[in-house]
Chains A and B, each alone.
Chain A
Amino acid sequence: MQEQLKNLHAQALDELGQVHNPRELELWRVRYLGKKSSLTKMLRSLAVLPLEERRKAGAQANAIKRALELSLEEKGRLLEEALLTSPLESQGLDVTLPGRPLSTGRLHPTTQILREICSVFKNMGFQVIEGSDVEWDYYNFEALNIPQHHPARDMFATLWIDAGMGRKARLLRTHTSPMQIRFMERERPPIRVIVPGRVYRYEATDATHESMFYQVEGLAVDKGITLADLKGTLFDFCRCIFGEERKVRFRCDYFPFVEPGVEVAIGCLVCDGAGCRLCGYSGWIEILGAGMVHPDVLARVDINPELYSGFAFGLGVERIHMLRYGIDDIRLFYSNDLRFLRQF
């Protein structure tokens, strides 16, 4: 009996190995675990055996039955898994084939860098405002201490709408600074704003000059604002944009609407101060102009310069992007060649 059970078990496992689909598995189940299977028959026939033998054989037969049931379950799982994966396996993919195309675009590099610049200043509590591109002579020049015939007008080659009309002449703003006046005309300190926008110059274009580019103007006015605050603000900005280790330099410079005036330069990104073509062998790259708002400018908008002080700055946007990526021709920005735009 015992020998018989053993053989049965071996035979059942052997046949289970030959099973390849659920239908065969069902047949196997009927054959070995069904009501008419030899195992069931054997279990029924135990009743005729003496007690001792019956107990022994019964235990063995039940053990084999449980083992076969487990094997059945296991085989069932295997078959199910095989059923799910095998058709796919047989049609394996060339995973190196290109994916199905999705149309995606990008933002213009100027927009990208503008967003970055604005977010740095927003985090410092500056609000973003915008001004108009076409301005009066008064806002672009006169209110900023650059009256008619002032030599500093040479610093701003101007595209005019009206020529020779004095302060009522219209022009394309040469800087974002007119918004300093417009904002201070309607708001009182504390003031903390930035003004991104397009500016225009009467300039023949070449690799480093464009007739249109973007600036971000900054203005902060309140009691007790100092040149040291300007330094802190702009050093923070440079660190955020150019990295922790980038050296930053403040030097005296002249803009008619600030006093003292400042130019900010960063250590050259190519030579790191050793001197190269990019930095004109100076080791430094100018990135923005700034200074303390001129007392005459404050007085002009009825802010008492003896009580209040403030700083202003203006930075060129494309230049920052150019420095970062080593782009040597500013004309690439607004000729909008996709082969350029898609790189950023």
Chain B
Amino acid sequence: MKVSLKWLEDYVDIKLAPEELAERLTIAGLEVGNIQTIGSTWDNVVIGEVIALNPHPNAERLKLATVNLGTEQVTTVCGAPNISLGQRVTFAHIGARLIDAHTGETILLKSAKIRGIVSEGMVCSEKELGLSDNHEEILVLPPEAPIGAALGDYLGDVIFDLDVTPNRPDCLSIISIAREIAALTGEPLRLPSIHWKELGESIDSFVSVDIADPDACPRYCASLITGIKIVSSPGWLQQRLNSCGMRPINNVVDVTNYVMLEYGQPLHAFDYHKLKGRQIIVRRAGNGETITTIDGTKHALTPDILVIADKEEAVAVAGIMGGLDSEVTDKTDTILLESANFNQATIRRGCSHLQLQSEASIRFDKGLNSELPLLPLKRATQLLLELAGDRAARGIIDVYPGKSEPKLILLTAREVKRLTGLKLNIDEIRKVLEALGFECQEGDSGSQISVSAPYWRGDIKCSADLVEEVVRIIGYEKIPITRLGSPLPQQESQLSPVAQQSNIKEKLRNILPGLGFQEILTYSLVSLEKLQKLSPKLELKIPPLKVANPMTREQEFLRTSLRAGLLSTLAHNQKFEQAGIRLFEIGKVFLPRGKDLPEEKEMLCAVLSSSRLELSWHTDKEMLDFFDAKAVVENLLNQLGLKASFNIGDDEILLPGRGANIIVEDDKVGIVGDVHPRVMQAFELSNNICLIEIDLKKLLTRLTRTKEYHPISRFPAVTRDIALVIDEQVNYRSVENIIQSFPLVTQITLFDLYRGKQIPEGKKSFAIRIIYQSPSHTLTDEEVDRTQEQMLNRLYQELGATLRD
């Protein structure tokens, strides 16, 4: 809401500088976003009257204008097409600071010779004065503008742009803001006095009002003015509307807008003669009913929408916009002026239904009080009689089915202290509330007051609301600063599932960067296309949850895995670097559960690509492979105290035969492997890419067991290397399992894998280092030999493995 300082000063004396006032308002909850000073540079600009216009001797388009400045007359060259005799104009003396119409920069006006004639100063356009971008025409002031006066005194102003919160629709009015200032500064508030002579016939003989839906329209007030002459509004009124960002239209519309800005109550003027049947009915629209609003749009209405109707049809969408047919025109001579109250939710629904908004609906949408309409109606009627009409019908229509009694709220100084820590006495509290228009009565005890909120403060419902009023006016800076003194809640056990879940995420975040992985965080919402690309067959395994009103196609579905985010991010970054990029994300995936909230599962997903190490002078560019990714998984799980095993996996994102399931204690907790080439193609990825995915919840259920401690043996270890020749089909794990089953074996290391000429075809050779150690004694050679012999026997019998010669 734009607010003019000059206008505010009609209602309250303001002694603070504009910046200081803005700061006080901001702290009290009315945030001033911007302060615009109009006319701060107009020190050499005055108001004058054009008293003579003569053609320029040397230029057809230019004129010589003589301007009366009161104490002197000056003649100047002027090229504006709209200059004419008798106009009040603005005249800039030499040395005035103006905006250069061409460059937009501030310049000092100099004496100039234009086509042979010396021009001492100039008549200004709005652009040159910094008022608008209009440079085609000069600014013409209203006829009452005082000749010789400094323009700054006449037109200068400060405009505050206020950010009004939804709870304070009353502050979409100048008077309410003036009241806030009055309360903040201790100055009295002056309200307009309203009176006029009722000369016409009784309003009841003109029109009757019927409210068919009192819940949607708790009150409908109206007045009627005859002898209307539609003309432009006087300058002062136009200026006020302009300063608040509204365009002047004609005297009637301008008065309704002026009073809306002044009081916050939207008003609407109907051309009385266009209303059929001398009747106003406030009702729900019928199915199939239509209306063309004053913006020229035709709307199909539904019973959700409240309308103002005459005997035959809807003439306005209640609280939102008037109808074109009953609009005030140049020919209007009688108006019915509406000031009504409409239910907030009804208006809101109507706006969203019709996709329509107006200055009126913005106010009704936030909830106005049904006590409000009468006074602004009277104020507007008075102004219309002054500026547009001849006489007002006697009386005012006031149909008020929805009157409610104001509620009393009890407040004590103790309550203020309990909620804010600020110690005030009841008189200080009372003074603040009364300045804001609250009525306070002494309660049962001396320390208590019984407060009723003024009607314009529909937001005040409980004592906490009153406490806020008190502290925001006294000033939030007066609130003391203390530290929480209340006892600490019982701390959660580190072994609880919640703590463990958060711990495991943090642990993984600590480990992965050390293994070369950059953490990324990607959007929870993805496109359908990306989810489909994850499958080589472009299928969706889990139908994802869809957002009903997505902002873009890119963010339409809740991710069911982290894979798409990682692969897209990898593709993006591969454009800039080819070396080995490693990325991981820990985050939620969303698995639908019918109409219920989805399961939100914490997952880890990581990708490794391209070379094992960055390109450097030390090493060749060695490409990484499955075993790099597997090592990461083993390392991670090992650091968490878990041991993983792996079997051939069948997840479709992985290349068949090059992917594995990660098994912890017989449970599949994730996958690791080479990404399927078709998926890589779909994501426009290059090079070799491995992917790791781990279900953190599953991992967590395996973590609950505490780690086992084994004492370190004091006795020496014995190292033996063996080379086994074995069928190609036998996997390493079955060899390892047999070796590991011997209690004396403490460590097994595969240090070579050979296939080639030196062994038979279809065979491979494992070279394995085995370390034997006993916790209880020094091993003898015989003991180790015996164990190894048993081991080799089993390897031969169960797997057909033989020692290599």
Other-chain residue from A134, A149, A152, A227 in contact with B479 (beta carbon distance below 8 A)? A227
In the assembled complex, the Cα of A170 lies from the Cα of B509 at a distance in Å of 31
Pairwise interchain contact A105-B519, C-beta atoms closer than 8 A: yes
Residue of B nearest to A210 (CB): B523
A192 to B465, CA, bound (A): 24
**Which of chain A's residues have a CB closer than 8 A to the CB of B762?**
none
Stretch at the interface among A32-40, A66-74, A332-340: A332-340
Q: How many A-B residue pairs have CB under 8 A?
A: 261
CB distance B468 to A261 under 8 Å?
yes
Minimum CB–CB distance from A250 to chain B (whole Å) comes to 4
Q: Which residues of B contact A135 (CB under 8 A)?
A: 597
Segment from B425-433, B487-495, B716-724 that makes contact with A = B487-495
Contact: B168 with A163, CB < 8 Å? no
Interface residues of B in 74-99 (CB under 8 A from A): none
State whether A250 touches B518 (Cβ < 8 A): no
Query: Is B484 part of the contact surface with A, judged by Cβ < 8 Å?
Result: yes
Whether B741 is near chain A, meaning CB under 8 Å from some CB there, is no
Is the interface on chain B under 10, 10 to 19, 20 to 34, or 35 or more residues? 35 or more
Q: Is A60 an interface residue (CB 8 A)?
A: no
Query: Smallest Cβ distance from A255 to chain B, in angstroms?
Result: 9
Interface segment out of the listed A6-14, A18-26, A44-52, A198-206:
A198-206
Closest-by-CB residue of B relative to A263 is B31
Within 8 Å by CB of B487, from A132, A150, A190, lies A190
Taking residues whose C-beta sits less than 8 angstroms from the other chain, chain A's interface range is 35 or more
Find residues 199-255 in chain A having any chain B CB closer than 8 Å to their own CB: 200, 202-205, 211-212, 220, 222-229, 231-233, 235-236, 249-254
Asked if residues B555 and A211 are in contact (CB atoms below 8 Å), the reply is yes
Contact partner of A229 (CB less than 8 A), chosen from B482, B549, B573, is: B482
Q: How far is the CB of A261 from chain B (nearest CB, A)?
A: 7
B:593-622 near A, CB below 8 Å: 595, 597-598, 600, 613-614, 616-619
Q: Which residue of B lies closest to A310 (CB)?
A: B486
Contact check, B516 vs A333: say whether CB atoms are below 8 A apart: no
* Smallest CB separation, A284 vs chain B (Å): 8
CB of A93 within 8 Å of the partner chain: no
Tell me whether B524 and A341 are in contact (CB under 8 A): no
**A277 interface residue, CB < 8 Å from B?**
no
Residue of B nearest to A234 (CB): B481
Chain B residue numbers with a CB within 8 Å of A154 are 166
Determine whether the beta carbon of B551 is less than 8 Å from that of A111: no
Taking a contact as CB atoms under 8 Å apart, the answer to whether B348 and A101 are in contact is no
Chain A nearest CB from B34 CB (Å) reads 8
Q: Nearest chain-A residue to B477 (Cβ)?
A: A250
Q: Do B518 and A341 touch (CB < 8 A)?
A: yes
- Which B residues, 451 to 470, have Cβ-Cβ distances below 8 Å to chain A? 462-465, 467-468
Q: Does B366 contact A (CB under 8 A)?
A: yes
CB-CB under 8 A from A231, the residues of chain B are 479-482
Q: Across the interface, which residues of B come within 8 angstroms of A192, CB to CB?
A: 484, 486, 488-489
Minimum CB–CB distance for B37 against chain A, Å = 13
B167 touches A256 (CB 8 A): yes
- Given the known inter-chain contacts A127-B492, A190-B488, A260-B420, please indicate yes or no for A161 contacting B476, CB distance below 8 A: no
Contact B489 A149, beta carbon cutoff 8 Å = no
B331 to chain A, nearest CB (A): 38
Whole-angstrom distance between the Cβ of A246 and the nearest chain B Cβ: 15
Closest to A292 in B: B419
Q: How far is the CA of A342 from the CA of B582 in the complex (A)?
A: 12
Instruction: State whether the Cβ of A96 lies closer than 8 Å to any Cβ in chain B.
Output: no
A233 and B484 contacting across the interface, CB-CB below 8 Å: yes
Please state if A190 and B548 are interface contacts (CB–CB under 8 Å): no
Chain B residues in 8 Å Cβ range of A236: 483
Interface residues of B in 392-442 (CB under 8 A from A): 417-422
Alpha-carbon gap, A314 to B638, bound state (A) = 38
Known: A159-B547, A256-B167. A100 touches B616 (CB 8 A): yes
B366 surroundings in chain A (CB, below 8 A): 151
Which of A160, A261, A334 has a CB less than 8 Å from the CB of B521?
A334
Give Cα distance in the complex from A227 to B472, angstroms.
12
Residue of chain A at shortest CB distance from B473: A252
A191 at the interface (CB under 8 A from B): yes
When distances are taken between beta carbons in the complex, the residues of chain B under 8 Å from A175 are none
Which of A149, A204, A220, A251 has the largest number of chain B CB atoms within 10 A? A251
Distance to closest chain B CB from A111 (angstroms):
6
Chain A min CB distance to B590 (Å): 6
Shortest distance between the CB of A20 and any CB in chain B (Å):
35
Mark each residue of chain A from 143 to 155: 1 if its CB lies under 8 Å from any CB of chain B, else 0: 0000011111011
- Scoring B471, B491, B523 by chain A CB atoms within 10 A of each residue's CB, the highest score goes to B523
Among A155-189, those with CB < 8 Å from B are 155, 159-163, 168, 170, 172, 187, 189
Q: Among B422, B492, B613, which residue has its beta carbon within 8 angstroms of that of A227?
A: B422
Question: How distant is B581 from chain A, measured CB to nearest CB, in Å?
Answer: 7
The yes or no answer to B577 lying at the interface (CB within 8 A) is yes
The residue in chain B whose Cβ has the minimal distance to the Cβ of A307 is B418
Given contacts A108-B521, A134-B598, contact A151 B616 (CB under 8 A): no
Contact A225-B486, Cβ < 8 Å, known A161-B545, A163-B549, A250-B477: yes
What are some 8 contacts across the A-B interface (CB < 8 A)?
A: A104-B513, A211-B551, A229-B484, A253-B31, A260-B419, A336-B522, A338-B573, A341-B519
Given contacts A133-B590, A236-B483, A342-B518, 7 further A-B contacts (CB under 8 A): A104-B516, A110-B521, A190-B488, A220-B484, A232-B483, A262-B476, A309-B419
